[in-house]
Amino acid sequence: MLLIVGVLAVFLTKTSAQDTNLQIDANTTTILMPELNSTFAKLNEKWGFKPIWDENITREALQEAIHQKSTMADFKILRKRAYMKSLRNETTMDKKVEKALRHRLMIAQTLPHHLPKFSHYGCNGIYNTTGRQDVLTVACLYRNNK
């Protein structure tokens, strides 16, 4: 049963990467969504303008996290954090994401970015275990849907 769940998880990660035309290694890179949806929602619920989750923007946020390319967003948060491999299992992934974004979101709340109530947003990212350190890259995109 555990083997089936493991195979399914790798298949879904590879399928998700293929769906977004990404070239990532599913053995060393984890896509954060949809597992961390509640973490992103919790972090963004404190905004005064009540953002609304948007799956299309979430796919764009994944592209942003991988390629750091310019996307159509009225406001963007991109954050990279490195972790020592020896501490990989010291904390959960949702805590790592929360720690990576918390300070940026606090700063962003004070900026005059002029997003109206109920603007749309999406967050996504990757956790890459290749190299000397593990690297978490997270992107949140916010769009005014007038």
Which domains does the chain show, CATH number per domain? 28-143 (3.40.33.10)
How do residues 41-71 score in pLDDT, each as one tens digit?
888 777 666 788 999 999 999 999 999 877 7
pLDDT tens-place string over residues 67-85: 987 778 888 889 999 988 8
3-class DSSP assignment, residue 31? strand
Q: Per mean pLDDT, which of 15-24, 37-46, 91-100, 133-142 is the most reliable?
A: 133-142
What whole-number distance in Å separates Cα of residue 81 and Cα of residue 84? 10
The amino acid present at 122, given as its one-letter code, is G
For residue 18, pLDDT over 90 is answered with: no
Helices (H), 20-87: 37-44, 55-67
Q: Which long-range contacts (CB under 8 A, 24 or more apart) does 34-40 make?
A: 35/93, 36/93, 36/94, 36/97, 38/94, 39/94, 39/97, 39/98, 40/97, 40/123, 40/140
**Bridge-based pairing state of the strands 52-53 and 120-128:** parallel
Cβ neighbours of residue 92 under 8 Å, at least 6 residues apart? none
pLDDT at 99 over 90: no
Write the pLDDT tens digit of every residue in 100-130.
888 777 776 655 456 777 889 999 999 999 8
